[in-house]
Amino acid sequence: MPNISFEDFRTLASRDGLTANERIDDPFDVRAGSTDAILADIIQKLPRLTSRDGIVVDIGPGCGPLPHALITHCGQQGHQLWLIDSAEMLAHLPNVPYVQKIAGKFPEVFGKLGSLIGKADLVLAYSMLHYVFEHDNVWAFLDRALALLAPTGCLLLGDVPSWSKRKRMLAAEGQSFAPLEIRGDEVWPGGLTDAVIFGLLGRATEAGFDAYLLPQPDSLPMARRRVDLLFRRPG
């Protein structure tokens, strides 16, 4: 099934009668009860979140339980938090003094982020890289996200579906892997394979960043078929 687009998310965010998880393309509530575990994993991979007075950027937070938990955590730690998403999605998140909302699609809104370029301690894009890959330029997305980082700053592209890992998981279970039929004019839906993932890591290292491919803990709901990509600007 193809991944939905930024405009589709805007429509979901505006539709009456939907739950928060339905608005973020999780109608079966796969992550129910996992918010604390997900946030704990993010904090483990971005330990700067446990210090104080940092600049944190969340690209595509949506409006589910996770951004609400991150907003609370950043308030407790005295961080400045920037949220980048559609106006329709951001309207479902609280307005608090330490949160700055930027309405629009990243990296199209990059011009609005002049004060953040080279200044962010942490940048997070969780469970959304596959949408970027199918509908937009994933390489430009990575380049602009890395450009936000201050020296020693980190970018976490979290909860990335890996079709290669999914294939290995099914093989280990004795199941066959049947790729979806692809037309000549479209990208393989969800097709973030090892080749693309390692390509992203290599692009970052060639640009002077450290890059790491990390597993998710088994306690997370989709750990067996998803990975995390961590990048750090040396300083």
Q: Which domains does the chain have, with CATH numbers?
A: 6-232 (3.40.50.150)
CA distance 212 to 178: 29
Give residue-wise pLDDT tens across range 1-26. Answer: 468 888 988 988 888 888 887 888 77
58 or 12, which is more confident: 58
At a CB cut-off of 8 Å and minimum separation 6, what does 162 contact? 192, 193, 194, 197, 225, 226, 227
Give residue-wise pLDDT tens across range 95-147. Answer: 999 999 999 999 999 999 999 999 999 999 999 999 999 899 999 999 999 99
pLDDT at 215: 95
Checking if the pLDDT of 53 tops 80, the result is yes
CA distance 226 to 235: 29
pLDDT at 46: 98
Q: Angle at Cα 182 formed by Cα 224 and Cα 13, nearest 5°? A: 65
Say if CB 197 and CB 162 are below 8 A apart: yes
